[in-house]
Chain A
Amino acid sequence: MKEIVVISGKGGTGKTSILASFAVLAERKVICDADVDAPDLHLLLKPEIEEEHDFWGREVAFIEKDKCTECGLCLECRFNAIKDFEVDFFSCEGCRLCFYLCPGNAIEMKPNLAGHWFTSRTKYGLFVHAKLEPGQENSGKLVAEVKQAARKIAERERIELILCDGPPGMGCPVISSLSGASLALLVTEPTLSGIHDLERVLDVCCHFGIPAAVVINKYDLDAGNTFEIERFCAEREVEVLARIPFDNVVPEAIVKGMPVVEYTNTNTNTNTNERVSREIKALWKKLEEGIGASGW
């Protein structure tokens, strides 16, 4: 089974628009959204939810006031989550230290419903996605559950390909989305921030031994920076698979709630520019060939 994960380091470079287009172009696949704390892919794929599952996060400490003698032992908390003998939900990491130390059994560890994940049907194929409750931690663990569910569905349906939309950044949810990936597709843009973040996220891929390739999105925004990205990729021996031009057709498609390659196919508006879709289709063809040749 092959698994393509789209990540970027910097946010807003076009991960979701590109992955949604792959969902249109690829024939048999399971799609999953590993950006669980700001998921957007569902806005384009319009899933019909078939199954909903609870995601239980780490427990959270709770102090029962009538049992608490304010002895102060719980203030050992390394996360400063206890102030005035109340637990700050956002700071508690559920380590249970206070629970163990409290001599009066005044602390209870409460289960914490941290989010949900869904298996859905879309017109593009089966789709696994999730929603983390706002402010929750442990998004890496939810990403792992989403990916696990996508693999199980793929096995059951004898599907050989998983397309995964990843989160921005390089911390736990990104590392989790990369685990077991056949290829990390790094979508960057020709800004100095884009380049800086590409370097860091490529280092993460190398650290975990995940093969990577690069897509330069909005490449015509800055020719000098695009050249710099190409030079950097050549130096690091990473292939640049596509250069996608900047075009307003991308936000237009998002507003219409459609993957961009589908939007340009169905849209009869004569202003619509085909360049973006052409590049994404060519990129997909390269990826398909790469998968076929089992290069990844």
Chain B
Amino acid sequence: MIITIAAGKGGTGKTLVATSLALSIDNVQFIDCDVEEPDAHILLRPEIFSRKPVFIPVPQVDEEKCTGCGKCSEVCVYHAIAVFSQRVLIFPELCHGCGACVHLCPENAISEEGMKVGVVESGKADGIEFIQGKLDIGKPMPTPVIREVKREINPKRTVIIDVAPGTSCPMAEAVKGSDFCILVTEPTPFGLYDLKLAIEVVKKLKVNFGVIINRDGIGDYRLEDYCKSEEIPVLLKIPFQRKIAELYSKGVSLVSGMPEWKEDFNNLFREIKEAR
């Protein structure tokens, strides 16, 4: 079973929930798909055994074969190739690696070389199989890294995926194909507004979902009222407590610092299995 933990709004407690769930159940594979800012390793402290670079294929022109016809520039929708006075200029940072230029060059003058955009790291944290992706500094596109990380999914384990904030492509790419999505939010108008946007994505992806209310008590009742009226299951409420915030700030997971929460996360897991 694959469970994704997403939010819409940033900083609502995705990583807190994902790591505590992972530490409460058996036979887990943990995948950090927030490749822009992966933080789960801070709480799970894995030992990393292997690092695999992620490349996207960018074009390379064989100048002897190239006639400067301009076809490659014409077919590239990302404007990553320009042809000036029969010389081809390539802007690798705009390239998505789609291969259109390679396929369509009439002279077969284009080959590809890998451009590194990130890394996939694998390791172990106690019994947990741990995988994380990291986007390189200054590289704009997280999705190729997310795709590579998701290739590591081990179907023999319960897979827990920590997702980037937002509701655009990196979030959709990570949530896609999962069996259940936990949306973590907070009871403020910001949390509610962004939750509604996230729900639209999850519904379009046809993934079952439920909500966890974190920092319960800081805001108002509009979030709960909304969940009630839309019949969205509230799976768990985590109260706002200074101690919980302090544990997180020191990189201690909720269930390690306050083991009494283990039972709640076990129940959460049971509820998700039943909801499927």
Given contacts A168-B166, A222-B249, A257-B189, 19 further A-B contacts (CB under 8 A): A11-B10, A11-B165, A12-B12, A38-B167, A43-B193, A96-B100, A134-B198, A137-B168, A138-B169, A169-B142, A173-B168, A191-B249, A197-B37, A200-B37, A200-B137, A221-B242, A225-B250, A251-B218, A254-B188
B: contact size bracket: 35 or more
Please name all residues of chain A whose beta carbon is closer than 8 Å to the beta carbon of B77 when the two chains form the complex: 58-59, 94-96
Q: Which of A148-156, A201-209, A287-295 contacts B (4 or more CB under 8 A)?
A: A201-209
**Does chain A have a CB within 8 A of B156?**
no
- Residue of A10, A11, A90 most packed against chain B (CB within 10 A): A11
| Complex CA distance for A197 and B38, rounded to whole angstroms | 8
| Complex CA distance for A10 and B39, rounded to whole angstroms | 9
Interface string of B155-190 (1 = CB under 8 A from A): 000000000111111111100100000000000111
Please name all residues of chain A whose beta carbon is closer than 8 Å to the beta carbon of B75 when the two chains form the complex: 96, 100
| Complex CA distance for A43 and B220, rounded to whole angstroms | 15
Contact B165 A168 (CB under 8 A): yes
**Does chain B have a CB within 8 A of A264?**
no
Please name all residues of chain A whose beta carbon is closer than 8 Å to the beta carbon of B141 when the two chains form the complex: 171-172
| Complex CA distance for A76 and B100, rounded to whole angstroms | 10
| Complex CA distance for A170 and B77, rounded to whole angstroms | 24
**Does chain A have a CB within 8 A of B264?**
no
**Does chain A have a CB within 8 A of B15?**
yes
Please name all residues of chain B whose beta carbon is closer than 8 Å to the beta carbon of A122 when the two chains form the complex: none
**Does chain B have a CB within 8 A of A33?**
no
B12 to chain A, nearest CB (A): 6
Please name all residues of chain B whose beta carbon is closer than 8 Å to the beta carbon of A221 when the two chains form the complex: 242, 245-246, 249
Interface residues of A in 5-46 (CB under 8 A from B): 8-13, 16, 36-38, 40, 43
**Does chain A have a CB within 8 A of B205?**
yes
| Complex CA distance for A214 and B255, rounded to whole angstroms | 32
**Pairs across A and B, CB under 8 Å, 14 listed:** A11-B10, A36-B168, A38-B9, A40-B190, A90-B169, A95-B78, A135-B171, A168-B36, A171-B135, A171-B140, A191-B249, A191-B250, A192-B39, A197-B39
Contact B103 A100 (CB under 8 A): yes
A75 to chain B, nearest CB (A): 12
Contact B167 A132 (CB under 8 A): yes
Contact B135 A135 (CB under 8 A): no
**Does chain A have a CB within 8 A of B194?**
yes
Q: Report B's interface with A, CB cutoff 8 A.
A: 7-12, 15, 36-37, 39, 42, 57, 75, 77-78, 96-100, 103-104, 135, 137-143, 164-173, 176, 188-190, 193-194, 197-198, 200-201, 204-205, 215, 218-220, 242, 245-246, 248-251
B209 to chain A, nearest CB (A): 13
Contact B197 A37 (CB under 8 A): yes
Contact B194 A38 (CB under 8 A): yes
B245 to chain A, nearest CB (A): 6
| Complex CA distance for A81 and B201, rounded to whole angstroms | 17
Please name all residues of chain A whose beta carbon is closer than 8 Å to the beta carbon of B245 when the two chains form the complex: 221
Contact B11 A11 (CB under 8 A): yes
Please name all residues of chain A whose beta carbon is closer than 8 Å to the beta carbon of B193 when the two chains form the complex: 38, 40, 43
Interface string of A188-228 (1 = CB under 8 A from B): 01111110110011011001100000000000011001000
Please name all residues of chain A whose beta carbon is closer than 8 Å to the beta carbon of B171 when the two chains form the complex: 37, 135
Please name all residues of chain B whose beta carbon is closer than 8 Å to the beta carbon of A78 when the two chains form the complex: 57, 97-99
- Residue of A9, A13, A93 most packed against chain B (CB within 10 A): A93
